[in-house]
Amino acid sequence: MPILNRRVPKSPRHLALRHAKKRFGTPDEHARGFGGVVGKPEALAPGEERLYSYYKPSLVAGTYDVTTEQYISNGTHKALKLTAAQSFTVVAPQFALPAGAIHSQYPPEGHADVVETLPHVVLTDPHLPWERIATDKKQPDEEFNTIPWLALMVFTPEELQLPENHPLLRNQTETKTVTLSLARLLQQSVSRVIPRSFLESNPDTEADFIFIEPGIFNELTTEYDPEILKEGAQDKCSVSRYKWLAHVRNINTLGMADSGEFEDEEGVFGVVVAHRAGPMDNVVSKPLIAHLVSIEYVAGTPWPLALDKRVALTSLYSWTYMSLPADSFSVGQAMVHLGDTMAMLRPPQPTIDRLLADNQTKWIGQRLNDGYTLAKYRTSTGEISAALYRGPFAPTTIEHKLKTMSFFGTELQVMDKQTGLMDLTYCIAWHVGRTQALGDQAFTAALGRLRTAIHREGLKLAQKEALKAENHPVIDLKDALGSLSRGIRTLNEISSGTSTRNVPGHAVRWVRDAAEPLDVSFASPAVSTRFKAAANTVMAELSSSKDGNVYNEINAHNFPDWPIVMSWVLDRMYLGNLPSQYIVPDPTHLPRESLRFFHIDPNWVEALIDGGLAVANQVEKDDDKIRACIKDAITKYLQTPMGEGRGAYLPQVPTHGFLMRSELVTKYPDLILEAPFTDTPEEEIELKPASILRQENLDSTVLLALFDRVPGSPDFKTLIFRQPPHQQSFAAAFQLTPSQMYLQFRRVYTGPTTDPPAEKKQNIKSDPYPMNNPLVKPGDNPPFIWGPDNSIRTLKFPDFANLTYDTLATKFKKGFDKEVQQKPTSALMGIQLNNPMLYLEIRDKKRPPLEASSMRSLLMLDPATTPVDTATSAPRILHAGKMFDLTSSLPSLSLPRSTGEPAPARAYSSPPPATPRSATHATASARMRARPPPCPCGPTRPLCGRT
């Protein structure tokens, strides 16, 4: 079974790096979107997508012959003809998909959705559905649609369950597949679609098979296209309906977690949709199984198949999900719930309030309010006690005060005088950094080589300065080579007698005054006092670029190990690769279906980095000057603007963020996040730095986002979550019951439009289509097949496609040109079957003024630092003047849901412009509330007991 393609970013800073390279780097010579294809379509803007009916490779799977002919002639004799032939085979997946072939699926494994839902899979390779030929039979509209060799089918477990006495029953998996070799399949008493000759010639090939009830299979392969039926009665299985159920989406991936790592901000995906809905009479959730099957040989199979044998089909991917009864919890309700309950990253507020109300438990309530939790702690003498711990994400703003360089981490333990408990927060952070460094072989080796280079060259420079200070002659190799020609010239003059210099006699020529010996070892005061300055000089050269500027990951480096060390340190600033138990130490801080905001504790990050850079110190046991030099170089990088002119900005470092734990992350791994710059003129937005610094799915249910702006500040008043265009859900109807269906037709434009109709005119809801009503006109037959006892539940093609096309052409005449869109296509079906796109918008309505403080930098250095012009460092300030709490009074949060309709959309078999972006939207208000300034005696919770 292929593994889902969960993309892990190469670096937690890939969003900020991509933005910087796009702004200041060398223009990318590679084509966008389609990997350098000549004639590539225009680049997509954020939020846009293009739909294609198919995306066939240049050569489909099979064996090909290449024949060449060459004629050679000298003009007088008959031309000599030379020929050559060569066969080659194009290989494509057939009985198994490669690892990572499935980008995502909907509904996710084990999740639930309403009965109208049509499951779908998103493929990382857009060619995959058309890499093999499904049928050789010519289709009347093959110019517009192509039948894929893959189809997504949905079954109940009973429809795939083998009889009790069947020999393969015990081999069935949870999704009812059985792994068999083709030789064993040939021995089974089942109907097979794979030709016998192929089975016999490939006996050892193994695959997963499902065994379908013949009645269901016959219905899934029935031909309903009148154009094809004109050729005669059906006698072969039909796969023509599946051409409407696969298409390609070219999307802009900006703001997506899984797909957002594409350097060109575009992704191309294949989408395969099922056309069978869930049971409509269920009052409780019922399990369903989705199978991505091969229909490569189905079209050549006689139809109908005998009803006494099950039909074997190759299953390439499968999963289970639940079909919900009517009026169940929806995605829109989930979004509203997140906005209603958003808070800071701390335990539930009722728990804190209850503890604060009791004087005996008030102290623990105060610590919990600051994001702390209790942890088991073993003292150095072996006793087991309790200790306080808080991760890097704090619910309150914490000043950057930590300046101690640690060698063991123990000095970072802080005794809470009020409770008598040890605060292990920064001690644990230091040891986490050291452990991460030791576990990273490339970083440890590079740091060791960097330390060696700084020590070697810095020692030489310090020794030279010490000798010069004592008037000792100092001649290094460079000086010696420079004076060599002068010395030879002087010797020649002395030898020839032409020298005017006063030459001493032979007796005293080689006599020199004895000089006082000078200790120039590393431990000598003369050298050790000068080593820090010398090491900084060496570090400045090693951390520079080839053009003499500060290395910033865009220009060329001067020392090969510095980019490795620098990248590791900066990744830690983005909290990259941290184990989850250190990020959220207590599960009550992040309950299910919650959105929690936080401030990043700079002291925690400082301790983390210090622990990592403490590795490979083999010189000094009491003062690590080389570590300080490395931090000086990082600080210089952080204080050096990238680019020039108005668009220049300082390297971005996150200060705030949120964690979202929700099934929405599981359903939509590429959930789009937007954090637009507000109160900013349109012409200046392009000059801004990256709006989102890190966006990553930490696991299947948790989304992490980091920013360098304060939520609620003038330029950050809105946060938007959107469904991704390639991971929306599909639905068979607007509403589906056991006896009728309602459709909602969506306006589609066949060309650009600057004056779309009002939003309420973008959709038309149909009258009900009854299941069996003899009074209905022939042209009004429902494009849906219920079947006996609702056992079929499939969309009827091409009736559904033709009904959609005719409705758009007659009811939405404005913007829909039949000369452009000559026939219905699978791209058109991709839009019409889509559920409305939902989004959640969180807005800040009230905020207190923000106060700027000092520049962000690595402060574990000597106390004396270079003053910084606060006017030029405004984009990098840490808002620590007051402690701001994003938690507003929850009862005042309002999340009205609009009843807006989906935005207009359009689709072609050729590249169309953007598809709909919005439908239902929810808003939430979060206002900043000022708290008393922090106590000067300590971070977060004062150790003096002051409240």
State the pLDDT at residue 650. Answer: 92
What average pLDDT score do residues 820-832 get?
A: 89
Highest mean pLDDT out of 42-51, 201-210, 731-740: 201-210
In the predicted model, what is the mean pLDDT of the chain? 80
pLDDT of 877 strictly over 50: no
Average pLDDT on 292-298 reads: 96
Q: Is 513 left (phi over 0), alpha (psi -120 to 50) or beta?
A: beta
704: nearest Cα among 667, 652, 662: 662
What pLDDT is recorded for position 507? 53
Look up residue 40 and give its two tokens: 């590539």
- pLDDT tens by residue, 26-35: 554 444 444 4
Contact 31, 40 (CB under 8 A): yes
Task: State residue 515's pLDDT score.
Answer: 60
The rounded radius of gyration (Å) of the Cα atoms in the chain is 35
Query: What tens digit of pLDDT does each residue of 314-326 get?
Result: 999 999 999 988 7
Query: What are the tens digits of pLDDT across the range 475-489?
Result: 767 777 777 887 787
| The residue to which tokens 């997946």 are assigned | 93
pLDDT at res. 850: 33
Going by pLDDT thresholds of 50, 70 and 90, the confidence category of residue 756 is low
- Cα–Cα distance for residue pair 617/68, rounded to 1 Å: 67
Average pLDDT of span 534-560:
92
Please say if the pLDDT value at position 513 is more than 50. Answer: yes
23 confidence band (pLDDT: 50, 70, 90)? confident
Q: Indicate the pLDDT class of residue 726, thresholds 50, 70 and 90.
A: confident
Instruction: Judge whether residue 946 has pLDDT over 90.
Output: no
Higher pLDDT, 614 or 37: 614
Q: What is the mean pLDDT of residues 862-879?
A: 27
pLDDT value of position 928: 27
User: How far out from the chain centre does Cα 852 lie?
Assistant: 32
Residue type, 246: A
Q: Is residue 245 within 8 Å of 824, Cβ to Cβ?
A: no
DSSP state at residue 807: H
Residue-level pLDDT at 263: 57
| Segment among 436-445, 479-488, 855-864 with least mean pLDDT | 855-864
* CB count in 10 Å sphere of residue 742: 15
DSSP 8-state code for residue 371:
T
For 122-159, the pLDDT digits (tens) are 999 999 999 999 998 888 888 889 999 999 999 999 99
Residue 4 is predicted with a pLDDT of 55
Per-residue pLDDT at 89 exceeds 80: yes
Could you tell me the two tokens for 811?
Answer: 């009811």
How many CB atoms neighbour CB 282 within 10 A? Answer: 14
Question: What is residue 427's predicted lDDT score, i.e. its pLDDT?
Answer: 93
The pLDDT of residue 920 is 29
Q: Which of 597, 592, 567, 572 is nearest to 582 (CA)?
A: 572
Q: Is 691 helix (H, G, I), strand (E, B) or coil?
A: coil
Phi, psi of 373 (to 5 degrees): -140, 160
Could you read off the pLDDT of 648-697 as tens digits, one per residue? Answer: 899 999 999 999 999 899 888 889 899 999 888 887 888 889 999 999 99
Higher pLDDT, 780 or 774: 780
Select, from the ranges 31-45, 281-295, 460-474, 809-823, the one with the highest average predicted confidence (pLDDT): 281-295
Q: What is the mean pLDDT of residues 584-604?
A: 93
> Comparing 172-181, 246-255, 598-607, which segment has the lowest mean pLDDT?
246-255
The CA distance from 344 to 294, in Å, is 49
Higher per-residue confidence, 208 vs 473: 208
Which parts of 214-315 fold into alpha helices (H)?
214-220, 226-229
**Is the distance from CB of 255 to CB of 673 less than 8 angstroms?**
yes
**What is the average pLDDT across 230-245?**
91
| Spatial distance between the Cα atoms of 654 and 663, rounded to a whole number of angstroms | 26
Percent of the chain surpassing pLDDT 70: 80
Q: Which residue has the tokens 């929405």?
A: 664
Q: CA-to-CA distance for 646 and 648, rounded, in angstroms? A: 6
Distances (CA, A) of 792 to 17, 155, 218: 51, 10, 11
- In the chain, % helix, strand, coil (3-state, to 5) comes to 25, 20, 50
CB 858 within 8 A of CB 880: no
554: Cα separation from own chain's centroid: 22
Task: Return the higher-pLDDT residue of 653 and 935.
Answer: 653
Q: Is the pLDDT of residue 863 over 90?
A: no
Q: Write out the H or E segment, with its range, that includes residue 365.
A: helix 362-369
* pLDDT, tens digit, 9 for 90 and up, residues 381-420: 888 989 999 999 999 888 887 777 888 888 898 888 877 8
Band of residue 614 on the pLDDT scale cut at 50, 70, 90: very high
Q: Is the pLDDT of residue 96 over 50?
A: yes
pTM of structure: 0.76
Instruction: Identify the band that residue 216 occupies on the pLDDT scale cut at 50, 70 and 90.
Output: very high
- If you average pLDDT over each of 442-446, 513-517, 764-768, which comes out highest? 442-446
Q: What is the mean pLDDT of residues 623-639?
A: 92
Is the pLDDT reported for residue 765 higher than 70? no
Lowest mean pLDDT among 192-196, 293-297, 315-319, 739-743: 739-743
Contact at 8 Å (CB) between 911 and 250?
A: yes
Q: Please provide the DSSP assignment of 392-441 as one string.
A: SEESS-------PPPSSSGGG-EE-TTT--EE-HHHHHHHHHHHHHHH-H
Residue 593: alpha-carbon gap to chain centroid:
20
Residues 6 or more apart whose CB falls under 8 angstroms from that of 865 comprise 857, 859
pLDDT higher than 90, residue 37: no
pLDDT of residue 773: 43
